[in-house]
Amino acid sequence: MGRQYFGTDGIRGLTNAGVMTAAIAMKVGQAAGTHFLRGAHRHRVVIGKDTRLSGYMLENALVAGFTSVGMDVVLLGPLPTPAIALLTRELRADVGVMISASHNPYQDNGIKLFGPDGFKLSDADELAIEAMLSQDLPLAPAAAIGRARRIEDARGRYIHAVKGSLPDDIRLDGLKIVVDCANGAAYQVAPSAVWELGAEVITVGVTPNGTNINDKCGSTSLGLVSETVVASGAHIGIALDGDADRLIVVDERGQTVDGDQLMALIGTQLADQGNLRGGGVVATVMSNLGLERYLQGRGLTLERTKVGDRHVLEKMKADGFNLGGEQSGHMILLDHATTGDGTIAALQVLAALVKSGKPASELLHLFDPVPQLLRNVRFAGGKPLDDAKVQAVIAEAEAQLAGRGRLVIRPSGTEPVIRVMAEGDDAGEVEAVVTAICDTVQEAAA
């Protein structure tokens, strides 16, 4: 069955258009509520959001949908996605909802759903809910309509949980840390958690106005945090995205430390402590070959999955890993959270900085990345990857890189784009390979 609404991470799109309207949000609430009406207890959903202007509209629509089928609603307000996952479990809710389009601009929004265990929904659950979106669902009788209430201590609960991911003897006294919250969901909780552990905190991206989320700040636009670290003489900068499930770090020189380097650091730390499960780390096909070689040199493995933190998590759960992530900054530490949590990952990095006594530039750059190049080819229609000439040039490139690099070619799951990525020890060879494939794809799509 094809998917009309759910993509790789919930439902996402331009607000007031397509799949992201108030009418559809209400229908999602009705469908998800109906799907999770299991058992005789009073049913409950928790709903959080980031700081987008459209969050108000979608929040109210979802409340209407859930209450109309008899489910009570607990409103948490602006909080990171991992906080919603945590509080879904803590509040014994039947389902959790995060209203966010993550690192996208404010014009987009999305709906992410969590089951009662705090994990993102399975394919089966999403397909069942999607099927209901085209049906007339039974509404609750008047006496059974749900109620909605807002709780005021949700931020404190999450901050307490985040700090609990560190040993009691770890303090951040003496560290000056720049925290960039992307004007998003963590604008209150992330700086508070770091400050409560003793650090001097310099905040940027903490003045959301509904339209400035991810705008020239956060993990996808590092200029602001990098400049602030260098100008203030800070020891390190941490940058989150709009819903705070991603983390990118900059060292005291303002240099970027991406998710691959962070996985190398956290994985090494856990392994040295005897706490790394699965014998290695789970990442996607996009993670740099340098990470794989580094881990192999430490006697650890790198298990690769398709792109998307959801695929990483599935592999982790299936094979007993407790650390996984993406080059883009998703960090999943299953000992502490059920989904990517940028703030928890940041605290692990800061703890390592404290224990090492080294500057961030020395601690965090554990391997030299292999030259890697990614290009996107947009096409009007059809299946250019099925073209014989395209397949031939791909086969030739794979043979050329064999043993010395990698080639990853994949269609986008959300737009008519072919993504072509190659990496290898020779940057010129990598560029030539990518250019040849992109040119051939473009010819086939013309």
d(CA 302, CA 6): 29
Question: Rounded distance, CA 256 to CA 445, Å?
Answer: 36
Q: Is 192 a catalytic residue?
A: no
Outline where DSSP puts E strands in 287-443.
301-305, 323-325, 331-333, 372-378, 405-411, 417-424
Torsion angle of C-alpha atoms 242, 220, 12, 14, degrees rounded to 10? 100
Q: Which two tokens stand for residue 27?
A: 């229908």
Sign of the alpha-carbon dihedral angle for 378, 379, 381, 384:
negative
User: Looking at the DSSP assignment, which residues form a beta bridge with residue 411?
Assistant: 418
Q: What is the largest CA-CA distance in the chain?
A: 70
Characterize 88-120 residue by residue with b for buried, 16 or more Cβ atoms within 10 angstroms of its Cβ, and e for exposed.
bbebebbbbbbbbbbbbebbbbbbbbbbeebbb
Return d(Cα 378, Cα 441) in angstroms, integer: 9
Local structure of 344: helix, strand or coil: helix
d(CA 142, CA 294): 62
**Of 100, 102, 219, 287, which residue is the catalytic one?**
102
Question: To 10 degrees, what angle do helices 189-196 and 342-356 make?
Answer: 30
Distance between CA 206 and CA 244 in Å, rounded?
12
Catalytic positions are 102
